[in-house]
Amino acid sequence: MSIDINYETSANGVTTVNISGSMDAMGAQAIDLKFSAISGSQNKLIINFEKLDYLASMGIRTLIMGAKSVQLRNGKMVILKPNDDVQKVLSESGVDTLIPIYQDLQEAEAFVLS
């Protein structure tokens, strides 16, 4: 299973990053450069996991590094709509206490714009 990443920034300045497929060790490696470029330049980030099937610790590493970079610039980053299995990985690893997780797009937008 492979991974795909794309992003768009809307008029309100919110950048939505869609990551789909499998964020395993190879998937994380494949998107690391692009994800760090996005998280290093955008301050209002929604990471859309609606089509993400799988996340393991190397993917968490990618997420945490990005979130650190956003926070250092006083930006905000949230995760949107992880599936049940991915949600379990995020909560068991404690990521949910570091990066807010939303199931609702409007709420996620309101948070990054606040």
Partner 1 sequence: MTSSITVSGKLEKLADVNLWLDTLATETNISKSSLYAMKLCCEETYMNIVMHSYAPENTNLTLDEQVVNLQVEYKEDDLRLIIEDNGNPFNPLEKSSSAPAKSLLDAQIGGLGISLMRKFSKAINYEPKDSGNRLIFQFETS
Q: Which 64-103 residues touch partner 1, going by CB under 8 A?
A: 64-65, 67-68, 71, 84-85, 88-89, 92-94, 97-99
- Beta strands, E only, 24-97: 44-48, 52-55, 76-80
Q: Which is nearer to partner 1, 10 or 97 (CB)?
A: 97
Closest CA to 10 of 92, 103, 93, 106: 106
CB atoms within 10 A of CB 51: 12
Q: Which stretch binds partner 1 (CB under 8 A): 6-14, 36-44, 60-68, 101-109?
A: 60-68
When asked if residue 50 is in the footprint of partner 1 (CB under 8 A), the reply is no
Gap between the terminal Cα atoms of the chain: 36
Q: Count of H helices and E strands in the chain? A: 4, 6
CB of 9 to partner 1, least distance (A): 22
Q: Tokens at residue 30, please?
A: 């494949």
Task: Give residues in contact with partner 1 (CB under 8 A).
Answer: 1, 22, 24-26, 29, 54, 56-58, 60-61, 64-65, 67-68, 71, 84-85, 88-89, 92-94, 97-99
